[in-house]
Amino acid sequence: MLDPAAGLLLVGCLALLFASAALHKLRDLPHFTDVLQAYRVLPEGTVRLAPLVPLAELAVAAGLVAPAARFGAALAGAALLLLYAAAIGVNLRRGRRDLACGCGGPDDARPIAPWMVARNVALALLLTVTLVSWRERALSPTDALTVGGGAVVATLLYVCLDRLLGRVAPWTQALRGRG
């Protein structure tokens, strides 16, 4: 069983991640549509449905924080993350490493990389952890500090790792003569 403080920390962080991802896409929807089209994984003409992606991410974010909707939101979020991982993986396999990942909004043009596939699979697995039964107990003020502090630390770690991996991967490829 999952402790409710740990569960709230997980769903809070993942809801923040999905809300942030949606807002990045909505900031410049035409740019996101171009990025999505460049992946060449959707049938011709369906890219016009690109606005549904950030709307789905917002729905996942909202659903994760609503206990009645959490199960469905966690499944939908895991499915989205696995779809993103598959789209990146397909294009890496095609040798199309110059595509913008689309992860950081219109101001972030990082190329796709294998670590992004692993990141999305790991995040999908974290979402599935929230599907297990939660132990019932009253939350204390200490739990609120734990969840709040944990969310801040987890967010900072995620941002740092994301930036580090985004900068280290091209550097190591250049050292190997692939960059």
| Average predicted confidence (pLDDT) for the chain | 89
Which tokens in the block code for residue 98? 């110059």
pTM metric for this prediction: 0.85
pLDDT at 61 over 90: yes
Instruction: Give the model's pLDDT for residue 127.
Output: 96
Radius of gyration of the chain (CA): 17
More confident residue, 80 or 155: 80
Centre a 10 Å sphere on the Cβ of residue 171 and count the other Cβ atoms it contains: 10
- Using an 8 Å Cβ cutoff, are 130 and 74 in contact? yes
Which residues lie closer than 8 Å to 10 by C-beta, 6 or more apart? 126, 127, 129, 130
3-state secondary structure 150-172: HHHHHHHHHHHHHHHHHHHHHHH
Distances (CA, A) of 136 to 4, 109, 113, 131, 133: 7, 44, 41, 14, 9
What single-letter amino acid sits at 121? V
Confidence class of residue 177 from pLDDT cuts 50, 70 and 90? low
What's the average model confidence in pLDDT over 97-123? 85
Closest Cα to residue 2, out of 122, 131, 125?
Answer: 131
- Tally of helices (H runs) and strands (E runs) in the chain: 6, 0
Instruction: Give the model's pLDDT for residue 175.
Output: 47
pLDDT, tens digit (0-9, with 9 covering 90-100), for 68-86: 999 999 999 999 999 999 9
Which tokens in the block code for residue 50? 């690109």
Distances (CA, A) of 1 to 6, 51, 159, 162: 11, 37, 29, 30
Cα maximum dimension of the chain: 57
pLDDT, tens digit (0-9, with 9 covering 90-100), for 7-59: 999 999 999 999 999 999 999 999 999 999 999 998 888 888 999 999 999 99
